[in-house]
Chain A
């Protein structure tokens, strides 16, 4: 605070010269326009994308209408297409992934930012950033050759024995399925959550911690009750990033999800995701209706991302309002 207040007067003397100020002002204007164009281009790309997907999928929209969202048959031979199993698979795998990744990633970020010694924190962060750069096909291969056998031989039978009364953990253990895809997704998005959350936590002003400590809070209390709430918006941002990545992930998911367009309450069951079916079937899709149904699936994925992101933002708004109420 002290340094920033010192720089403002230093800019003061030159502000006396009007021409300089106006030039500065016009420079500001230029910068504003340029950045506005950049920002607008993102919106433009998004709109163009949706428009193109819409324009290229008239046949299935006319043939199936809203039924496309609620039928669970996907039959390229007899030209019957429904998106429900893919929507279900996308939502379930992303949810499982985030349920695992958010607590783990947030915990790790808190440790790295608040509790770990600087050296350990820097070393670990380096490795986490490396993890974020691993291509998804590598995660898929590790999934199919290491995770899936582990799940099938040990984890799923154990879960089935203990929690098998829940529909979530019933059915035969194939290894591949919703659970495997969810776990692989969790591993893939954890680096994003850790990396972004750690930066956000580190940027919380020291004074916040010091104030909490001076009021008699323990280190953990200052972290959990002051620093984390302060960084809440940024942490949610990291979770959005993770959600977007999980929804759109293709390669790693298709390698471990089992690729069966089925809806099953059991996490052990094989399923399918939107991104995976598009990647798998697009190249060999010959009929017009078939191809356009795949394009419409792309539209559905876009819509799904839109809705889930909106819901998540709504959640933040609600929690923030409640948080503000508590503070007041």
Chain B
């Protein structure tokens, strides 16, 4: 008896689950994405808010890293990808060869990398010139009282200690922004080290930390050290960080406004595919080590339902969605970029 009843309950349960599953499959558009970890907090917020607004659209996002995002969107295992660095020409060609059409980059929010340091006895905000940052990371400026640093930090008593240089050990968009900037301001860096999510750090750049917290941990624990972390991380953890001289010759402290300003400076020359680096951007108020982060959307989506849902989300993201950015410490897209993006969304077919 009990066994029979148990079987009945099981069967009923299975029927119920089937019915629910059917309703789920019919009413809900499931969209899968994967990629960058840096914008994950705002992406998950966006997908959640958008689902609340449109319960029939459910977007899942796996923050597996930019490289994984590019790879999976190319393989076609996800509906969209996400990356902190734009796809290079080779990757775009691989995508086109496989699919017969292209992939469109859509900037979503902005991030920045900031220099942070630990010098015993120095509590002032230090100013860094591009030459000083490149010199330190190339191992040519080895002491804190080097004229390249001291001359723009008058009144700060810099010690003659060896600088201990710290970098991100894990592949990251932050490293990409940092090295992209150094490539633009220093010819030697460009030729010898280059830009990438991981690079072959020249000696004596000695120490690598895992993640922002790893870099910060080493910098905090190591006297006379310098490292770089994501702006968001620095803001959320009240980490002191230095200013950087921009291309207009002004020392700018990174912040949501100065990062947006860098994007606005670049917006005038924004290419149609949005693949643009905004490090060393023009503009007096622009912070020079800033970058977009992108969603990678196929230019053709055969499934009409999916296409409309994605386009709807993109439009919302570029407009109303931007209001969620600043509370999470991401810099908003400037208006010029949003306008251009709204036009581009319509070209997806």
Contact = CB atoms under 8 A, between A and B. Distances in A.
A181 to B, nearest CB: 13
Given A280-B171, A285-B171, A286-B66, A259 B198 contact: no
B221 A285 contact: no
A34 to B, nearest CB: 28
B207 A259 contact: yes
Interface of A is mostly: loop
Interface residues of B, number: 36
Contacts of B207: 174, 176, 258-260, 270
Nearest to B162: A172
Interface residues of A, number: 33
Contacts of B170: 279-281, 283-284
B37 interface: yes
A14 to B, nearest CB: 35
A270 B169 CA distance: 12
What are the 5 A-B residue pairs with the smallest beta carbon separation, nearest first? A284-B171, A283-B65, A259-B208, A259-B169, A75-B200
B67 interface: yes
B208 A258 contact: yes
Interface of A: 73-78, 80, 144-145, 148-149, 152, 172, 174-176, 254-255, 258-260, 270, 272, 276, 279-286, 291
Nearest to B84: A284
Contacts of A174: 164, 206-207, 222
B201 A144 contact: no
Interface in B196-254: 196-201, 205-210, 214, 217-218, 221-222
Nearest to B37: A283
A77 B201 CA distance: 10
A144 B171 contact: no
Given A77-B194, A148-B221, A174-B206, 4 more contacts: A75-B200, A76-B200, A284-B170, A286-B91
A283 B64 contact: yes
Contact of A255 (B70, B201, B210): B210
B172 interface: yes
B68 interface: yes
B195 interface: yes
B199 A145 contact: no
25 contacts: A74-B200, A76-B198, A76-B199, A77-B194, A80-B200, A144-B214, A152-B222, A174-B222, A176-B207, A254-B210, A258-B206, A258-B208, A260-B205, A270-B206, A280-B171, A281-B170, A281-B171, A282-B171, A283-B64, A284-B66, A284-B197, A285-B171, A286-B67, A286-B70, A286-B197
